[in-house]
Structure 1
């Protein structure tokens, strides 16, 4: 009696094992694609231990203490396959710097797609170092108030030749942001405003840092405002378009030309549109975002 019973039990176990295998009870299915095939991997999902997403992560920026809130995950950027269209206002393409002023960096990612233009009035993006009146400017134009500094077209100067670390630049060094002159060559008159809703997370000798409230917590740093006439304090909560301070030439103990240096830093890691790694806190090219924001401003669109 025992032998037939044992045989019957073995047969039942074999049947159950076969059904379980085909049904995926043990984590593997005999039919259909493997869990590691392309059909089962969502676009942008990490693959393998410590892997980064296979698509560029979103706009970002973070310059704050390590124990403060970080971005929770990647956010898709707004990619523009072509250069900004001419015709809205005069501007050179991204990455096209003044001759002999640096290598430039052509990046087609609008890292801050809803950026509020950081001046309340019109302004002129160009080089303050290599422009008229700058330390490396043309000798025949010694005045920073020269008309060439206060007229179109705009010109990118991210990665302009400087000694500051900037990983996306060709040799790892260069200008970390974009210089923007106010509407006129007058200091302490033209308002600089918040790029998005956020918190003032740091105030230095001549710097103000704004961290975006919403993921991916972009960080914007403003340099050279009139520091003793700021409209905000460290820790203040601001809305996009709120006044921060007046464009000036504060630079510690050494004055610079009248302008505002504007930076965007990454808050999440990923890659740029040309495949360069973008780590947390990397300086990002702000020019494309500024061009789009200025277009919206000129069209009368309010900051949100």
Structure 2
């Protein structure tokens, strides 16, 4: 009687062991057809690792700082309007898309994406390249100072789509500078006020960024970089009017200072189409240059922001 009992017990143990193995009681079973004794080390196999995800935005232009509580566009928005370019202003400026030679492929866009834009500086300012201009990392070797007079004189120059390695869908390669660099009236940091582009809400304050979302449709998103962050005039959630002070132009860039300038972005509040037929999705980076030119013309003629 004892022998059959022992055999029965052994059979039960074997069955339980098989069930436990297939159920993963002792770890995950190998896939069908696999050799249980083969390991990556024994077989010489390695675990592939894909390339690191590329940041959406260039290091010099800040990180993605969109919040879920930002104002949202109307569900059935009309196509983006594309009026003609502003007439030549009373100040000198190169045309849109005309970048410093060998600094990238500009985007020749006639669209005034923010037709009532309040110029984002309270005083005079100079739109040009902080990277390829005097004192920049790729600037002329014979002009090593960022305070060189060439940076603080006319004409203005576009630098949207200037060479960068990060996503900017409207640029020829799909990558490039996502906004416009603007220097204040003088080469002095923490002195010149940066102001709100339109009525809206401060939806985010980052390490060196301030995001303003327009209160009215189409809820354009404006982002300002490199102000003096410990001296801001606004906080996250604040409601502002066009022309209200936000902060002072500086060189804040996390732990590493940049040149004294303000990087300014406009992002789409509705889907639409550019003047050359390119699709514009929600929050696409838009060329701000034409809007800035028109706004500066209004400012110089004495028109107040509204």
TM-score by length of 1: 0.77
Q: Residues 260 and 67 from structure 1, CA distance in 2 versus in 1: closer, same or farther, beyond 3 angstroms?
A: closer
Aligned-residue CA RMSD (Å)? 1.5
Is contact 2:134-2:151 (8 Å) kept?
yes
What is the Cα deviation at residue 67 of structure 1? Answer: 5.5
* Structure 1 counterpart of 2:77: 74
Give CA deviations for 1:129-167 in whole Å, capped at 9, x if unaligned: 000000000000000000000000000000000112100
Say if 2:214 and 2:220, in contact at 8 Å, map to a contact too: yes
Compared CA separation, residues 301 and 283, structure 1 to 2 (3 A): same
Q: Tell whether the 8 Å contact from 1:126 to 1:180 is kept in structure 2 after alignment.
A: yes
* Aligned CA distance change for structure 1 residues 182 and 69 (closer, same or farther; 3 Å): closer
1: distance between equivalents of 2:93 and 2:141?
A: 24
Q: Is the 8 A contact 2:211 2:223 kept in 1?
A: yes
Asked whether the 8 Å contact 1:133–1:143 carries over to 2, the reply is yes
User: Any stretches of 5+ residues in structure 1 without a counterpart?
Assistant: 1-61
Matched, 1:86 2:78: no
Q: How does 1:1-304 map to 2 (within 5 A)?
A: 64-66=66-68, 68-72=70-74, 73-75=76-78, 77-81=80-84, 83-304=85-306
**Count of residues in Structure 1 that have an aligned counterpart in Structure 2:** 242
Does structure 2 retain, via aligned residues, the 8 Å contact 1:78–1:113?
Answer: no
SS of match in other structure, 1:291: helix
Q: CA deviation at 1:80?
A: 3.6
Contact kept in structure 1, 2:79 and 2:273, CA below 8 Å: no
Residue 78 of structure 1 deviates from its aligned partner by: 4.8
- Relative distance call for 1:63 and 1:71 in structure 2 (3 A) is farther
Instruction: Give, in whole Å, the separation in 2 of the partners of 1:121 and 1:181.
Output: 11
Instruction: Give the aligned partner of residue 4 of structure 2.
Output: none
Displacement of 1:70 in angstroms is: 1.1
Verify the 8 A CA contact 2:80 2:273 in the aligned structure 1. no
What is the rounded CA distance, in whole Å, between the counterparts of 1:284 and 1:125 in structure 2?
16
| Aligned mates of 1:276, 1:71 — CA distance in 2 | 20
**Equivalent-residue separation in structure 1 for 2:254 and 2:294 (angstroms):** 32
TM-score, normalised by the number of residues in structure 2: 0.77
1:230 CA drift (Å)? 0.2
Give how far 1:106 is off. Answer: 0.8
Whether the aligned pair in 1 keeps the contact of 2:196 and 2:246 (CA below 8 Å) is: yes
Contact 2:221 2:267 in 1 (8 A): yes
C-alpha offsets along residues 81-123 of structure 1, whole Å, 9 cap, x if unaligned? Answer: 3x44335110000000000000000111100000000000000
In our comparison, the structure showing a higher alpha carbon Rg is 2
Following superposition, which runs of at least 4 residues in structure 1 exceed 6 angstroms of deviation?
A: none
- In the aligned structure 1, how far is the partner of 2:220 from the partner of 2:274? 16
